[in-house]
Amino acid sequence: MYDYLIVGCGFSGSVLAEQLATAGNKILIIDERPHIAGNAFDFYNEDGILIHKYGPHIFHTNSSDIFDYLSKFTEWRYYEHEVLASIDGSLVPIPINLDTINSLFGLNLSSSEVTDFLASKAEKRNPVLTSEDVVMNAVGKELYEKFFRGYTRKQWALDPSELDASVTARVPTRTNRDPRYFIDTFQAMPKHGYTAMFEKMLSHPNIHIMLQTKYEDIKDSIGFSKLIYTGPIDRFYQYEFGKLPYRSVNFKFETLQKEEFQCTGTVNYPNSNAFTRITEFKKITGQTHPQTTIVYEFPTAEGDPYYPIPRPENQDLYKKYKDRAALDEGKVYFTGRLGTYRYYNMDQVVGQSLTLAKKIIGE
């Protein structure tokens, strides 16, 4: 008999398992995949290069509480991610910054001049509701079309005008020369990889792990008092109100017989090719190796549910599931990117689970 059955060994389930086990509860945590760590799973491929099975994962947060918490389970390699975009045949920094503008337009503007330059290009939108509004409002049509429209249509199979503002708002516009993709206070990669960090997090005598185990197959044969579910909430309720839309990605890995492939961790391809970006793992993990592995990301409708799709009609459908879940309150808790249908980064999921653990332990 377990106090908690936790479905999903990703960040959201594993943090709860660790917190509840430490508080003295007996935990069974399961995952239908053959490994722990959810979408953050990494491993050494046959060439001996550390790769991320579900696409590149770079940890960043502004929360010292979240960083300190994870630091109990890993040492870090400090790493600040930089991304270039392939535009009209040249590679320029994204987020758009002073260097991007000077390079694309053959100018030599200062920071204050680029502010005026962008203001002259911007098409003011009020209110700012969609992902198109965000970018048009900041940089205008030409840059919107070069950097955002094509990428977004590939990634989501929707026009930016059909997506919430929050999607492209993840990528700011800068008038300085800061080339970093994120500006969070803490930016780092787990020194020995994510999977090693999860192994430590889950290594507690009160935690029992079962892999390759679907919730649906064991729910009636395992004794437990309460359930924590981090899988898709629509799947839990057998799609009672219809399917929540998710976007998936096909990852194509290639190991090359050379030490380096590209000059930065990720290169985005907004308007050319069927893939959105190429990431070179050694750049982000810091591994030295005579070969190098890269991954291409091809967005697709079919496959594992990776991205909830932020737009009003999907939020309305999610609300139906959320209201349904309220009837199970106290028995079943939903959390995580899929359990709460939110486009959350790893740190946000950790924060969400730490808050839920506190609430549950308080009860």
- CA quadruple 232, 169, 77, 350: dihedral, nearest 10: -40
Among 94, 118, 346, 349, binds ligand UDP (CB under 6 A): 94
Backbone angles phi, psi at 78, to 5 degrees: -70, 130
- Residue 170 contact among ligand FAD, ligand UDP, none, beta carbon within 5 to 8 Å by kind: ligand UDP
- Residue 215 contact among ligand FAD, ligand UDP, none, beta carbon within 5 to 8 Å by kind: ligand FAD
Burial class of residue 8 in the structure, from the number of CB atoms within 10 Å of its CB (0-12 exposed, 13-18 middle, 19+ buried):
buried
CB of 303 to ligand UDP, least distance (A): 15
Instruction: Give the CA angle between residues 343, 344, 350 to the nearest 5°.
Output: 160
- Residue 94 contact among ligand FAD, ligand UDP, none, beta carbon within 5 to 8 Å by kind: ligand UDP
Residue 168 within binding range of ligand UDP, rule CB under 6 A: yes
DSSP classification of residue 292: E
- Of the two residues 230 and 345, which places its CB atom closer to ligand UDP in the complex? 345
Q: Enter the tokens of residue 15.
A: 């943090």
Among 40, 85, 136, 138, binds ligand UDP (CB under 6 A): 85
- Residue 311 contact among ligand FAD, ligand UDP, none, beta carbon within 5 to 8 Å by kind: none
Residue 167 within binding range of ligand UDP, rule CB under 6 A: yes
Among 2, 54, 151, 186, binds ligand UDP (CB under 6 A): 151
Give dist(CA 207, CA 228) in Å, integer. 14
Cis check for the bond before 127: say yes or no (omega within 30 of 0).
yes
Residues within the interface to ligand FAD (CB under 6 A): 7-13, 30-33, 38-40, 54-58, 214-216, 230-231, 249, 306, 336-338, 344-347, 349
CB of 92 to ligand FAD, least distance (A): 21
